[in-house]
């Protein structure tokens, strides 16, 4: 079980660190757009659209990394006051119910939308825009898949923590 968790964590970690470079690329492209527009009076729809692509890939591919590092939004008012067992219960419930249902809903709601984009090889509405809108829309399916994968690892970690606290409590009871 630990090897499986480690494999998922490493995958999310590597992907998250790789796509984090897209933030720098996005800043550089934005700088280029501004320089071209205001210094040289040159506009580029393709460059402007590429910022959307970079942002989408940064967000969708970085979500699992954010979950792995516990940097997602959480109501810490209650969570931080709980015991490790209480935290593990919330993590297990949250990942198995909320995360899996949310990921499933995103796939369900996006499937036809993405499939149609692929069927017609959707491109930009602008003639000088990027022709890969269908690839961009695929990120709508990639994100929930990556989140679900990391959610499995998080649920397994929570289950393991619950099992360990239960074993520790029973060992303490045996010594009394």
Residue 174 has pLDDT above 80, yes or no: no
Question: Could you state, in order of their start, the residue ranges of all structural domains in the chain?
Answer: 2-175
Whether the CB-CB separation of 37 and 43 falls below 8 Å is answered with yes
Dist. CA 40–CA 117, nearest whole Å:
35
CA distances in angstroms from 8 to 64, 86, 93, 141, 148, listed in the order given? 10, 24, 19, 18, 11
**pLDDT digit string, tens, across residues 67-77:** 998 877 766 77
Residue 85 neighbours by CB distance under 10 Å: 15
**pLDDT digit string, tens, across residues 93-138:** 999 999 999 999 999 999 999 999 999 999 999 999 999 999 999 9
């Amino acid at each position: 079980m630990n090897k499986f968790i480690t494999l998922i964590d490493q995958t999310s970690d590597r992907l998250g660190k790789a796509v984090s470079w897209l933030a720098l690329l996005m800043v550089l492209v934005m700088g280029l757009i501004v320089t071209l527009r205001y210094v040289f009076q040159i506009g580029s729809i393709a460059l402007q659209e590429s910022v959307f692509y970079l942002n989408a890939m940064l967000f969708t591919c970085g979500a699992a990394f954010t979950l792995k590092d516990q940097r997602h939004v959480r109501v810490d008012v209650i969570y931080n006051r709980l015991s490790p067992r209480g935290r593990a219960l919330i993590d297990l419930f949250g990942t198995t119910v909320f995360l899996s249902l949310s990921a499933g809903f995103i796939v369900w709601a996006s499937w036809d939308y993405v499939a149609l984009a692929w069927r017609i090889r959707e491109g930009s509405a602008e003639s000088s825009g990027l022709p890969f809108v269908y690839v961009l829309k695929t990120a709508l399916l990639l994100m929930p898949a990556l989140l679900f994968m990391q959610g499995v690892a998080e649920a397994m970690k929570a289950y393991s923590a619950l099992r360990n606290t239960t074993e520790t409590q029973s060992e303490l009871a045996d010594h009394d």
